[in-house]
Structure formats: structure tokens, C-alpha cells
Structure 1
Amino acid sequence: MENREDKDFQDKTEDATEEKRSQFREEGNIANPREVVACVTLIIFTTYFYYSINDLLSCFRLVFQRSWQGFPAYFVDYSSLVKVVYYSITPILPHLLFIIFICSVFPSLFGLLITRFNWSWKKIIFDINRINPISGFGRLFSSSFIFETLKILLKCSILTILIYFILKSEISNSSEDYFFNNIDFMKELGKSIFHLLYIMCIAGVFIGVSDFSYNFWKINNDMKMTKQELKDEVKKHEGDPLLKSQRKRMARDLVMRKSLKDVPKATFVLTNPEHFSVAIRYIKGMHAPIVVAKGQDLIAFKIREIAKQNDIMIVENKPLARTLYKTVKVGQEVPQTLYQSIIEVIKYIYQMRGKKYFERF
């Protein structure tokens, strides 16, 4: 089974068609940008932290003052607890709301923007196979699951090592912080936090770009098709060649049947004599003869029948009838290369029927 899957993967050499790409998108199978989203979110949070650190310190200081120095105009009991809490956190509330937005709402919106608002219900619809212990056990030891686990371990290891060395450096440099006052200590703590966030942003960019590039490469590889799949899709759109030719013939016959009503306007009809019939109209003053109707087999017979009913001359000319049928459409003029052959037919009709035949048209 595994060898067969490997063989199928190796046979997928053709780029995916637009239909295959659309099918993948509808099923929610796209390059997952979660690491990129997390990285951008971290960068925005770090930038906000850097430019708002002084204001954050002032707000925290005011929150502590209100918390420990009492709450003027309020008597603290259960009924006024909400007002007390609101009064206490009011200074820091705008910062908290912005941070909550950046950490919760923004990643979802940004993720939808990157994926061009791709949303698939198939990912959240209940599927019994997802909780099937047998299939779940198989997925647990699949190559894709093992690879994803190794990726997660690698990312966690990189971030853990970075955090360790940064904290070790900051702790070793913080021996004198004990002698600082509260405000200076908070500023030094803020610098340490910013340093940590700054290094994490750099690592996040590297991890995010690498992970998204791999996901993009993998999803394009998964979308590739075998030559047989490509042929099947083309066949599905274009249909079976035999049926396609039959549909074309039926459409052509329909057009020809509609043209039967113009047969009485014809001056003469050229026949094969059995397989083809072409009705030609030509009167004095016309720029060129015009094919008003043509048909094959049954329709050819019907054209000859209508011609007899309307006393229209039927002339047998196999090469000319076949050429006109295959090269000239109904309503088109006869090409100049066939003028001489048409003139010969008109001369023959003139000899057979005389001048009066042409005067009635």
C-alpha cells in the first residue's frame, strides 16, 4: 500500500488545474499561515509595548494607587464592587482592550486576509472518522504527523534556547536593580521585556517565513496531478469524443433543418446525388450566388423533395455539391474559386428550362 502511494506521488508531475485549485480551497486545504500571523501579531504587540511603555508605567502606577489608597466616594460592598473594580482599572483599560484585540481578534482577521477570506465548513463539520480510534491510531504514526511533531519540537527548542540565554543575560545584569526605586525598577523590567520580545520577533520572522514557505510548497505538491487525472478532467469537461461529435452533428442538423424553410427561395439544387444536397439562390443583379440550405442523407433527401414540390431544378454534380457542403455555410456566398463551376450549372439549366425559368425568380 505504501509503495503504491509513493508511486502515485512520483507520478504527479502535472501542475494543478484551476478546478483542482478551487476544489482544494473549498475544502480548506491551503498553505496555513498561522506562524506568519503569530509573528505579525508579536511584532505589532512589541512595537506597541515599546512606544507605550512610559504610559503603561504611569497607568499601572495609578492603578496601584487607587487600589491601595482607597476609593473615594464609594463604600465597598457587594453592590458597589463592579464600580470599585471599574474605578480601579479605568487607567489601564484602553491598553488592555487594545492588547486583547491584538491577541485575539486581529490574528483571525489577518489570517482571513492572507488566505483571501477562505472559509471551509468541511473543516468543522462533524466526521465520525475523526474520533475513530483505529484511524486515529493510524494517523498517529503517519509520516505527516511525525513530521509535524518534529517541526513543533524544533520551533519550541529554538524559542526555548533563545528565552533561556536572554533571561540568563538579563538576570546577570539585574543585580543592581535591587537598589532602584519602584519606577526605575519597572523601567528596567520593561527594557528587559522589550529585549526579550525583540529577539522573539526576529526568531518569529525566520520561523514564520520558513514554515509558510514549506506549507506553500507542500500544498502545491499535493495539488499536482497525474497525466491520467489531467486527461480525465479534460474528458469530463469536453465529454466523450464520440458523444461530442454526435452533439456537433445534431446541432449542425438542427441548423440545417431550420434552413429547409428557405429551400423554396433557391434557384437550383446541387446533389451528390444521394448523400449531399445544396440549395443555391442566384438571380440577376446579385453580387454572388448564396447557399440558402444544405444537408446530408435524410435532410438532403428532404431538400430534393421540397425542390420538386416547388419546381426547382435539381442538378447532379458530385464534386461541386460535396465541395459546397464542406466549405460553405448556410447564408454565405459561394467563393470566387467556384464561380466557373456555378456558371456551367446555370448554362445547363438555361439549356434545359430556357429563359422563362429564371424570369420567375
Structure 2
Amino acid sequence: MEQREEKGQEDKTEEATEEKRNQFREEGNIANPREIVACVTLILFTSYFYFSSQNLILAFQECFRRAWFGFPGYYVDYSSLLKVIFYAISPILPHFIFIVLACSVFPTFIGLAVTRFNWSWKKLNFNIGKLDPISGFARMFSVNSFVEMIKVVTKCLIFSILIFIVLKSEIFSASENYFYNNLDYMKNIGNSISKLMLVMCAAGVVIGGGDFSYNFWKINRDMKMTKQELKEEVKKHEGDPLLKSQRKRMARDFVMRKSLREVPKASFVVTNPEHFSVAIRYKKGMTAPVIIAKGQDLIAFKIREIAKQHDIMIVENKPLARTLYKTVKVGQEIPPVLYQSVIEVIKYIHKIRGRKYFERFEA
């Protein structure tokens, strides 16, 4: 089964489309920022511990003082127990509340921001298939499980080595703490803890960034599509290429048939006798001749037929007819580059039919 998965992954050579990316996000398959969240939590806790250590020590001292020297006029029984407890811990309570909020709420928002506030309930849906012991056993020994185990072991090993290095440097000075008073002893312990936590924060940044980068790469790899999947998605959105070309041709023919009604207004028709016909309108005062109808094959024949019925001059000019058909749309003026060719056609009509031919179009 693993070989088939690897073979299928090798076939995925195309970048994921926007629809495939949205599908992954809706299913909750995104780069998990859990290590980044854990790192931010550790940094916040360490920062608060480092900058508020003096206030924390004073708060603990007050808690101990209240515990040892009694309470202000409380008779301790079941009814006053909560008041007694609150009185004892109230000095440290603001610090505790701030740490809980800062180390839970803020990192959560950081994680949501990294994932662009993606939230999917599909991951929480009950799936009875997950209770299948055979599939569960297969997942346990899959490549993904093995990679996750390697990641956990590597992180534990890195942190263990760092803790050993820091504590090894601190343990030689630990015996001197015996000669310090309680306050200085606590300060030395606090400095050692701060040093250890700062080192762990630095390691957390590296591990968090590396883990998120790996997850991001893995999600992008899993999102890749095979050539067949890409073709099917394009076909789904744009339709079968053959049907699409047929629809375009039908739409083009519809426009051209609609333009046949404008042929009687044409001043002359330029043709490539067997394939193309272009009906052109021109009268005195116009800035340039305008194409009012054009067609190919059957439509070209219909244009010529209508032109004959309305005594409209038909001029054979193969290069001009082909160029006008392919480069100028119906309703557009003839471009300046073709003025000379069209003027030659108009001169020819003047020579054959005279000035009166064009006078009837000026009415």
C-alpha cells in the first residue's frame, strides 16, 4: 500500500489549482502551526518571568506572610474557607491570571493568524472508519507516523541536550548557594531558570520554524495534482474542448446570421468568390468605411445573394477580402493600413457604375 501511495505521489507533478487549495482548507488540511504556538507561549512566559521576577518574588513573599502570620479577623470554618483562600493567594492571583490569558489566548490568535483564521469542523466529524483496528494499525506504521515519531524524538533530544549543557554550567556554582540568604538564593535560582528558558526559547524558534516549513512543504506536495486530475478540473469548469469550440462556432454563426440583416445597407461587397464575403458601408462624411457584415462559406454565399437582390456591387479581391475577414470585426472601421486597398475598390466601382451609384447611399 505504501508503494502505491509513493507511486501516486510521484505522478503528481502539476501545481494545485485554486479550487484544490480551497478544498484542502475547507477540510482543515493546512500547515499546522502547533510548534509556532508552543514557541510563542514559551517566549511570552519567559519574557514575563524575566521582566516581572522581582514582582513575582514579592507576591510570593506576601502569600507566605499571610499564610504564616494569620488572617485579618476570619474564623476559619467551611463558610469562610473561600474567603481565607482568596485572601492568601490574592497577591499572586493577578500574575497567575495574566500568565494564563497571555499564554493561552494570544498564542491561539497567533496560530489562527498564521493559518489565515482557517477553522474546519470536518476534522471533528465522527468517522466510524477510524475505529477499524486494521486501518488503525496501518496508520500506526505508516510513513507519516514514522516521520512524526522522528520529529518528536529529535525535539526531545535537542531540548535534553540544551538542558544538560545549561545545567552543567550552573551546577558547579550551586554549592555556593548554601552560604546565601533565602532571597539571594531565590535570585540565583531565578537567574538559572531564566538562562535555561532563554536557551529553550531560541531553540523553540528554530524548531517551530523548521516544523512549520516542513508541514507547509508537505501540504503543498500533497495538494499537487496529476495531469489527468488537472485536465478533469479544467474540463469541469470550462467544459469539453470539443463542445466548447462548437458553442463558439455556433455563437459566431449566430452573430454573422444576425449581421445578414444589415447587408442591404452595404455600399459594396468585397469577396474571395469561394470562401469569404465582407459587406462594407461608406458614404460621404464618414471618417472611414465600416464593416457591417462578413461571413465564410455558406454565410458568404448568403451575403452575395442578398447583395445581388438589392443591386449592391460585388467586387472580387481575394487578399483584401481575406484580410478584412480575419482582422476586422463587424461594426468596426477599416484600419488605416487598408485605406489604399479600399480606395482602389471604390475607384473601380466609380469607373463601372458611376457617381450616381454612391449617391443613393447618402440619403
TM-score, length basis structure 2: 0.83
Match of 1:139 in 2: 139
Match of 1:315 in 2: 314
Q: Quickly say closer, same or farther: Cα 1:276–1:68, change in 2 above 3 A.
A: same
Farther-moved stretch of structure 1 (104-113 vs 63-72): 63-72
Distance 2:301 2:66 in 1: 105
8 A Cα contact 1:304 1:314, kept in partner: no
8 A Cα contact 1:277 1:304, kept in partner: yes
Match of 2:69 in 1: 69
Counterpart of 2:314 in structure 1: which amino acid?
Answer: V
Counterpart of 1:326 in structure 2: which amino acid?
Answer: K
Q: Quickly say closer, same or farther: Cα 1:203–1:272, change in 2 above 3 A.
A: closer
Q: Verify: 1:218 aligned to 2:215, yes or no.
A: no
Distance 1:335 1:186 in 2: 90
Match of 1:283 in 2: 283
Counterpart of 2:197 in structure 1: which amino acid?
Answer: L
Question: Deviation digits for residues 1-51 of structure 1, max 9, x if unmatched?
Answer: 443433333344444444444443343333322222212321221121111
Match of 2:329 in 1: 329
Q: Quickly say closer, same or farther: Cα 1:76–1:260, change in 2 above 3 A.
A: farther
Question: Deviation digits for residues 112-136 of structure 1, max 9, x if unmatched?
Answer: 1222323233322333333332221
Counterpart of 2:312 in structure 1: which amino acid?
Answer: M
8 A Cα contact 2:291 2:330, kept in partner: yes
Distance 2:163 2:121 in 1: 38
Distance 1:173 1:345 in 2: 107
- Length, aligned pairs only: 360
Q: Aligned-residue CA RMSD in angstroms?
A: 3.2
Distance 1:171 1:251 in 2: 85
Match of 1:33 in 2: 33
SS in 2 for 1:294: strand
Q: CA deviation at 1:219?
A: 2.9
Q: CA deviation at 1:349?
A: 4.8
Distance 1:157 1:205 in 2: 16
Match of 2:240 in 1: 240
Distance 1:299 1:144 in 2: 64
Distance 2:336 2:63 in 1: 98
Distance 2:231 2:282 in 1: 49
- Structure 2: 5+ residue stretches without partners: none
8 A Cα contact 1:267 1:312, kept in partner: no
Match of 2:190 in 1: 190
SS in 2 for 1:119: coil
Match of 1:156 in 2: 156
Counterpart of 1:82 in structure 2: which amino acid?
Answer: L
Distance 2:218 2:100 in 1: 33
Distance 1:232 1:284 in 2: 55
Q: Quickly say closer, same or farther: Cα 1:63–1:287, change in 2 above 3 A.
A: same
Distance 1:76 1:260 in 2: 104
Q: Verify: 1:123 aligned to 2:123, yes or no.
A: yes
8 A Cα contact 2:307 2:314, kept in partner: no
SS in 1 for 2:103: helix
Distance 1:308 1:66 in 2: 114
Match of 1:92 in 2: 92
Distance 2:78 2:297 in 1: 99
SS in 2 for 1:31: coil
8 A Cα contact 2:278 2:291, kept in partner: yes
Q: CA deviation at 1:90?
A: 1.9
Distance 2:279 2:27 in 1: 57
Q: Quickly say closer, same or farther: Cα 1:348–1:213, change in 2 above 3 A.
A: closer
Distance 1:165 1:172 in 2: 12
Distance 2:317 2:127 in 1: 68
Q: CA deviation at 1:142?
A: 0.5
Q: Quickly say closer, same or farther: Cα 1:158–1:287, change in 2 above 3 A.
A: closer
Counterpart of 2:191 in structure 1: which amino acid?
Answer: K
Distance 1:312 1:133 in 2: 87
- Structure 1: 5+ residue stretches without partners: none
Farther-moved stretch of structure 1 (174-183 vs 284-293): 174-183
Question: Deviation digits for residues 172-218 of structure 1, max 9, x if unmatched?
Answer: 64345455444333323323322332332233233223323332333
Match of 1:203 in 2: 203
Match of 2:296 in 1: 296
Farther-moved stretch of structure 1 (99-108 vs 319-328): 319-328
Q: Quick one: percent identity of the two aligned structures? A: 69
8 A Cα contact 1:288 1:334, kept in partner: yes
8 A Cα contact 1:262 1:292, kept in partner: yes
Match of 1:255 in 2: 255
TM-score, length basis structure 1: 0.83
Counterpart of 2:174 in structure 1: which amino acid?
Answer: S
